[in-house]
Structure 1
Amino acid sequence: MKRKAFVKAAVASMLVGTTMVGCTGAAFRNAGHVGAIAPKQNPDRLTAQVEKALAERDGVRAVELAEAAVQAAPQDVRHRQLLGRAYVAAGRFNSAETALTDAMTLGNRDARTIITLALVEVALGKDRAARDLLTTHADIVPAADYGLAMAMAGDAPEGVRILSEVIHDPSATAQTRQNLAYAYALAGRWKDARMMAGFDLDPLAANERITLWAQNAAPGLSQQRVATLMGVAIDRADAGQPVALALAPAPVQMAQAAPVEQPVETASVETAPVETAAADPAPQSVVAEEAPAPAIQTFAAPARSAALRHAVAPARVQKAAFSPSGKGGSNWVVQLGAYDNAAIAKEKWYAMASRNSALANLPVVTSQITLNGATFSRLAVSGFDDRAEAAALCRAIQARRGKCFVRENAVDATPQRWALTTRARQYASR
């Protein structure tokens, strides 16, 4: 993906479903499950009808039509993904998990599908599975979406760190700042959340938003938080996707066919919040308003080459010992940490590089960032051919329990000529 295109995707946010403040869940009509699958119909016509039902916020009708589409074309990845969206609209999270997982099994790697499935996992109390899914596809999901989703999936500090980077891009929007405010709230940093929310809201509206977040912050309310953000009524009688729609193995072909890349869809995705730490006391009255609310947006990604598709394969098939050449000229870097000053950053680099030869062979860059009045020295490595190569290294670091994320290099970044001399190796090993 070209860098400019990614920046636009990374800092934009789109309201999917409803705003966080003032949604009641009544917008989707949820009258129960479809008892029987309808006779086979034209799947393309059904697809258009499903989209129409979703646009009209009729979750039950969308499910009925999407189930019929999947029955008519069970191996069509588009229909499986659409069925997952319909289940979410109807508040059927168990069914949605199955349908979206089936879509990914059939080859769907749309960022929207990944985020929706991750948030459904959160609603089902599977935070670890949600984080693993996001980490595996970190090179597909836009940074702003990834940051908020990780915060909602239980790693609020990581979400705050990534979103703190994203909001400094010149094209960052009010929605991106509200995403960061919500990530602060999920991390239990209520003062920071109030301050960030106040950048785009008047004091009363900001306080009302914080109050609503605090009311939904108690442990065990993850499903309610998801439903509230999506504006859906939870279907607690959801027994799962009908057995008749279970994904069967694709029929074996006698002749090998040329692979066909699934088209990337461009419609919006449904979003959800996640479990948080207990909140500080907040006012108890909530008034609905129309200001920007935390939400996740995904955009259609451009077609990728075979080499890039290989580079962004799931982490479980990547080699943990991945080592780039360090000679690439792209603007992508892997940030390893942010420290109080450059001396500490240098010390940390020696410690990390002494344990990881891949880091020791990469160019080091440092830059400064100011957050809440405090200045930090950011430590990163560069020399990658593209973002996919940087993301592959970051996955390898994370596989060894390290922390990192991929971003574009800062304009004021300073190249460093650090090297692991014998003395440095001895120092780092102490």
Structure 2
Amino acid sequence: MTPRLILTFGMSALVLGGTMVGCTATSGRIASASDRSATLAAKAASRSADDARRALAARDAIKAVPLAESAVAAAPQDAGYRMLLGQSYLQAGRFVSARDTFADVLALYPADGKAALNLALAQIATGDWATARTTLNANAAIIPVGDLGLATALAGNPAGAIEMLNAAARAPGAGAKVRQNLALSYALAGEWSMARVAAAADMSPADVDARMEQWAAFAQPKGAADQVASLLGVTPVADSGRPVALALNAAVPVTPAQADEPVQTALAVPAEAPAPVETPQAQFAKVVASGVTFGPRNEVVQPLPTMLIRAEARPTKLALVRTPANRIVQMVPAAKPFVRTSTGGEWFVQIGAFSNVAVAKSGWSTATRRFAALSGHQPTGTNFAARQGSLYRLSVGGFSRGEADRMCRAYRSKGGNCFVRREAGDRMAQWLKTPIQMASR
């Protein structure tokens, strides 16, 4: 699809560009620090951000990206600099990096509607339409309805977009932007006669004919990124993600520990010490609390507080395997202690929305293989009535907001998709409610 396909007319079919291209970054916020090094870092971040803004205004994304990255590296907690970096990634066609960066902006400043909209668009461009719809629904109150409607259509819900844009177009003071986004939503829904009527409200019949031809091509993208790239006038590129050092929590120092060290159990009670032998479970708790090990190229994730729930004490079961010559008794390992990191909070990390419980169970298996830390949590879920039918939301939760943000970022660093939301009726996953029976022989 030719870049800027929809932007050839004076009136853009999508006026989201003004929302995304404008920069909201502020000057460095470390200027009040007493030490000289912090002050120098703040000034360096501010200079890099100013240069990045000028490069963005000149549509020089190749220059803007490293400048914005330098600003974020110098002031990692500044949401404005991260917003600037996300916009630079968008202009460079790097949608994976943009997605992760806008998610960090929301983690720092959840009330930023521009970041929420840009996050959803980046999710659409990476083919994660279901998560994009959830992002839009969760932030509907802080995204302008004209942008929200068309983004909803691009995320695969044109019917929902038409409903909200129709109401907005009938409201007093509705502008051409809302009407044209409504027209394009009709086109994406395949309702071409209604698309023509809505578009004709703001242009001549000849221009309407040309617009319909453009939209016919736009409605048949060859790739997930085509529509968003066309609306932004950018060319998508292969993107392996932003530098790991720029992840939001990468600035938090973590002392590495030796990875996967086996827990040493006492072989015998020392003769001079009457104290009981320390159990493997107690030692396991110490190992978990002492530190977390990360590989040299993986995102550094601040370890979450842990709580040990001991496995229920019960006799160890033996499985008998008979052979013609003899009987071999195999020891069945006792259940490993279940580690929970939640603290009874109201925040959940949603991993996905699936068509039914069976598919969600498969999705949970995939997620735990991708990110082993999830296996220490009980999966939860809830049914959700969507326009395309009933969906089953899969999540883990009971976190504080900070814990949920860290968990989601850690999962995304392993290639997963997730977002943070409040509790919405989440209960124990349905497949855990039926006990699994083992056949005996």
Q: Which protein shows a greater Rg?
A: 2
Higher relative contact order (CA 8 A, sep 6+): 1
